[in-house]
Structure 1
Amino acid sequence: MHPDVEVLRATIRVPTVAERDPDLTDPAPFDQLHALLAEHFPLLHERLERVDLGEAAPRALLWRWAGTSSDRPVVLMAHQDVVPVTPDDPWTHPAFAADVVETPEGPAIWGRGTLDDKGQLVAICTAVERLLADGLTPAQDVWLSFGADEEVSGPSAPAAVDELRRRGVEPWFVLDEGGAVAGQAFPGVGAPVAVVGATEKGTTTLSLTVTGRGGHSSTPAPKGPTARLGRALWRLDQKQFPINVPGPTVDLLRRLAGHLPLPLRALLTGATRTPPGVLGRALVAAGPETAAMVRTTMVATTLSGAPAHNVIAARARAEVNLRIMPGESVASALDHVRDAVGDQQVAVDVVEANEPSPLSPTTEPEALGAFALLERTIADVFPDAIVTPYVMMAGTDSRFFCDICPRVYRFAPLRMSKEQRASIHSFDEHVHVAAWLEGVDWYVALLRSL
């Protein structure tokens, strides 16, 4: 096996799970990960400036690679932490074993974090180490920002932003996880689609709570807390958010149009002229992935009720996770949910709120064109892919960098099938060895092109 791949496997074996309460996070796996990185990337640790973020983010990693010029610095991001693995997840191969498995596409590394997000972190480090060995000095400063609590919206990224702001660093562009070289990404399109997030939805969680008398399960009263909560969730499912087709989605459709079968090609070729409602309904009909591109989404993710099977719940509660489209807001989403529920006995409260990110430019003069640089680099390494901006549906640490940079993009240079994308935050997450090595080549090409 390629030695660089063995480094990735070693990091996958380290269960760097972050908790929402930082006092509950086990620091030992993060210390082990840092030791692995120091062992396998000695030039990076020797020649880059390590910036200590102190108690604000003790496990975060922030490095500065000094370039020929400090003008137009670039920030490359990834995160060290992974989501936990539950005992009921039916992994085909153990989640933290980093087994190498033969597949029809060649060998693949199985394990939590291969796609989200140690695959990207180790690819960046491998590219930097390779270029340092070649004697490269980048044309401008390159910052590496690797948070330790992205999955729990922790303090690592805000602390890194505060430090860059304190130093007066105004990045030319920031690149984090997000899109990928996605196979089977759009119905009727055979070529992979390299989607680069030019914005991301706002990740917000609301709670729906109903309280009542409770009591013994042998004497239930009508419209109790669980029934009322169930009705509220059903009403939300019946009253989805209205269709909203932002600019990046129109651009995506225009770029894909020539690769579609004739019926859809006619509709999407004139995407800028086709009424948004028509486009939106077509995408909603095409499936959940495309439907999420054209509306704010919401889904109940946690439920709680009585403590025993023979007890009527005195308090029933659900948490509803929303991904809010650009052009909308937490306030407007809250109004929609309360209106859809239509029941004053269901308390709707905000648990966590994040507004959608600003839209980063995708058409600029060459001197400023960070998106054009990403596009060219993708075309060089993935010549079979269609490159397009899109609205990222998930949330990333990069949203915090929008405060200091107008060009924040989200792209992981990894080929991912539909099955692989579905495995993120689920079971059987894996990356193909050849795809990961391509990802390393992409970062090398990007850094050489600065």
Structure 2
Amino acid sequence: MNVSSDTIKEKFSKASRIERFQELIKIKTISYNDPEKIDFAVFKQFENTLAQLYPSIHAACEKTHHGPTGLLFQLKGREAGAPIVLMSHYDVVPVNEELWTVPAFDALIKEDAIWGRGTLDTKGTLFAVMESVEENLDQGFVPKNDIYLSFSGDEEISGDSAPSIVRHLKSLGIEPALVLDEGGAVVEEVFPGLKKPCALIGVGEKGYLDVSISLEGQGGHSSAPPAQTLVTRLAKVLIKLEQYPLQAHFTPPVSDMFKTLGKESEGVYKFIFKHLNVFAPLLKWYFTKQGGEMNAMIRTTIAPTKMAGSKAFNVMPPVATIGLNLRILGTDKIDDVIAHIKKVSGEPDLIVTVHERREASPDSPSDSTGFKNVKNAIEAVWPNAVVSPYLMLAGSDSRHFCEVSKNVLRFSAMALSKTERGLIHSNDERITIKGLLEAVDFYKALLKHY
């Protein structure tokens, strides 16, 4: 489709882009774990709004529906080679309006930013994908091979939309050359000794495990407690799990990140990361003591998140329970992690109940054509950023696509400060207008390779 240059200029002006993004933010596509709370009419409204805002995409692409809320757009290419998949999700987490300083779904512009739930996670990415493809189509763009746009509306609740899309692609024998989803970003002050911004491309993500650990015993009145209460014994289990963490490993994504970013570090850090094999024991010790993101990069982490005992102050509980959330490193298997918990606990009667589990994703190579193309697109928009692979600590829909592609990458095309990163799933979520437009520029740069 060819559109006049004047029309394109007006359609994709800064003001027009902002207005379209505001329309998407205003639609309350909230995901809830309780299906009864989900308003699917709102999700349909979002789909219809996409059709209104992006007519060229809807004219050029075949759109199919998958699972509860999955949307898959197929843009046909000139050839029949391996396609690429650009992903995002359009559901958002609930909000507590009382804690926001502006209405969470009004998409207000304040302090050169657009405020609203989903601006960062991840309607901003979806918007950037749609804007870049729409603009390219208006300029007569036809890709070399097929391009799929894959959007789910239930990522926040680990729904079946993305898995349904994967099953569809698998049934057709499609093996994408690249799958790109949310993940790392352009960030600063996250790596020791590095003063430059770095752009982190996730090449794998950790696994996930929710378990509860429980002890059962004699309940009763609290006036004469036993020498060791159930709660006390469980507290000691937590201390032992902290004292004896799972073994640290420098997996390939982490080693590659240390080597890549270490070259750009200053002072003693540059020397340390240059000789990673020599200093690995010291780094593992240091990261363990520090905790936080670096520690999470090198081991399976165990975080106590819930506790339950008696409902009354003067009653001893017959059962005491602690909930644990674990993020599984690729070197560990979940069954082995559960065995570690039981062994370290020192409690032969410890009950371990699994609530949700998934193993770590396989790692994607950082020397693939897809990685290089993403890297080149990043450098076109953020030329001062050091591009590096990394291990993603959180989960995303992209893990499902590992069934059909060996090149699954995770990068959110945004430059985010530490404060902005803290706004994801939090109050007063917002994206700067500059950052939003940079995301569009990134996808426009990426499409030049396809």
Normalising by structure 1, report the TM-score.
0.91
Query: Could you list the per-position Cα deviations for residues 350-375 of structure 1 after superposition, in whole angstroms to 9, with x for gaps in the alignment?
Result: 211111111111124xxxx2111111
User: Residue in 1 aligned with 2:296?
Assistant: 292
Alpha-carbon distance change, 317 to 28 in structure 1, aligned in 2, over 3 angstroms: farther
User: Residue in 2 aligned with 1:95?
Assistant: 104
What is the distance in 2 between the residues matched to 1:84 and 1:235? 36
How far does residue 221 in structure 1 lie from its aligned partner after superposition?
A: 4.1
What is the distance in 2 between the residues matched to 1:93 and 1:178? 27
Q: Aligned ranges for residues 117-136 of structure 1 at < 5 Å? A: 117-136=122-141
User: Residue in 2 aligned with 1:67?
Assistant: 77
What is the distance in 1 between the residues matched to 2:209 and 2:291? 23
Q: Aligned ranges for residues 24-39 of structure 1 at < 5 Å? A: 24-39=37-52
User: Residue in 2 aligned with 1:428?
Assistant: 428
User: Residue in 2 aligned with 1:338?
Assistant: 342
1:152 lines up with 2:162 in the alignment: no
Q: Which runs of 4+ in 1 moved over 6 A?
A: none
Alpha-carbon distance change, 233 to 3 in structure 1, aligned in 2, over 3 angstroms: farther
Alpha-carbon distance change, 306 to 9 in structure 1, aligned in 2, over 3 angstroms: farther
2:29 to 3, 8, 16: 16
Query: Could you list the per-position Cα deviations for residues 39-68 of structure 1 after superposition, in whole angstroms to 9, with x for gaps in the alignment?
Result: 211222222101122xxx131111111111
Contact 1:20 1:154 in 2 (8 A): no
How far does residue 300 in structure 1 lie from its aligned partner after superposition?
A: 1.7
Contact 1:187 1:286 in 2 (8 A): no
1:116 lines up with 2:148 in the alignment: no
User: Residue in 2 aligned with 1:362?
Assistant: 366
What is the distance in 1 between the residues matched to 2:23 and 2:258? 40
1:270 lines up with 2:275 in the alignment: yes
1:52 to 43, 57, 65: 65
Q: Aligned ranges for residues 210-221 of structure 1 at < 5 Å? A: 210-218=215-223, 220-221=225-226
Contact 1:174 1:405 in 2 (8 A): yes
One-letter amino acid of the counterpart of residue 449, structure 1: H
Alpha-carbon distance change, 246 to 130 in structure 1, aligned in 2, over 3 angstroms: same
How far does residue 9 in structure 1 lie from its aligned partner after superposition?
A: 2.5
Identity percentage over the alignment?
38
One-letter amino acid of the counterpart of residue 207, structure 1: S
1:40 lines up with 2:53 in the alignment: yes
Alpha-carbon distance change, 73 to 185 in structure 1, aligned in 2, over 3 angstroms: same
One-letter amino acid of the counterpart of residue 97, structure 1: D
One-letter amino acid of the counterpart of residue 431, structure 2: V
Query: Could you list the per-position Cα deviations for residues 311-362 of structure 1 after superposition, in whole angstroms to 9, with x for gaps in the alignment?
Result: 4433333321111112211122112222232213331122111111111111
What is the distance in 2 between the residues matched to 1:346 and 1:413? 45
1:413 lines up with 2:413 in the alignment: yes
User: Residue in 2 aligned with 1:139?
Assistant: 144
Partner-residue secondary structure (3-state), 1:353: strand
Of stretches 235-244 and 158-167 in structure 1, the one that deviates more from structure 2 is 235-244
Alpha-carbon distance change, 208 to 47 in structure 1, aligned in 2, over 3 angstroms: same
Partner-residue secondary structure (3-state), 1:2: helix
What is the distance in 2 between the residues matched to 1:17 and 1:318? 29
1:162 to 161, 167, 174: 167
Alpha-carbon distance change, 268 to 9 in structure 1, aligned in 2, over 3 angstroms: same
User: Residue in 2 aligned with 1:174?
Assistant: 179
What is the distance in 2 between the residues matched to 1:284 and 1:385? 28
User: Residue in 2 aligned with 1:306?
Assistant: 310
**Which 5+ residue runs of structure 1 have no aligned equivalent?**
none
Query: Could you list the per-position Cα deviations for residues 91-110 of structure 1 after superposition, in whole angstroms to 9, with x for gaps in the alignment?
Result: 343433333221xxxx1222
Contact 1:179 1:411 in 2 (8 A): yes
Contact 2:32 2:93 in 1 (8 A): no
User: What's the RMSD between the two structures over aligned residues?
Assistant: 2.1
How far does residue 194 in structure 1 lie from its aligned partner after superposition?
A: 0.4
Partner-residue secondary structure (3-state), 2:130: helix
Partner-residue secondary structure (3-state), 1:168: coil
What is the distance in 2 between the residues matched to 1:114 and 1:228? 45
User: Residue in 2 aligned with 1:82?
Assistant: 92
User: Residue in 1 aligned with 2:393?
Assistant: 393
Partner-residue secondary structure (3-state), 2:278: coil
Partner-residue secondary structure (3-state), 2:387: strand
What is the distance in 1 between the residues matched to 2:411 and 2:94? 23
One-letter amino acid of the counterpart of residue 434, structure 1: K
**Which 5+ residue runs of structure 2 have no aligned equivalent?**
1-13
How far does residue 220 in structure 1 lie from its aligned partner after superposition?
A: 4.2
What is the distance in 1 between the residues matched to 2:259 and 2:430? 31
Contact 1:200 1:392 in 2 (8 A): yes
What is the distance in 2 between the residues matched to 1:360 and 1:418? 27
Contact 2:192 2:269 in 1 (8 A): no
Contact 2:179 2:398 in 1 (8 A): yes
How far does residue 3 in structure 1 lie from its aligned partner after superposition?
A: 2.2
What is the distance in 2 between the residues matched to 1:370 and 1:267? 30
One-letter amino acid of the counterpart of residue 449, structure 2: S
Normalising by structure 2, report the TM-score.
0.91
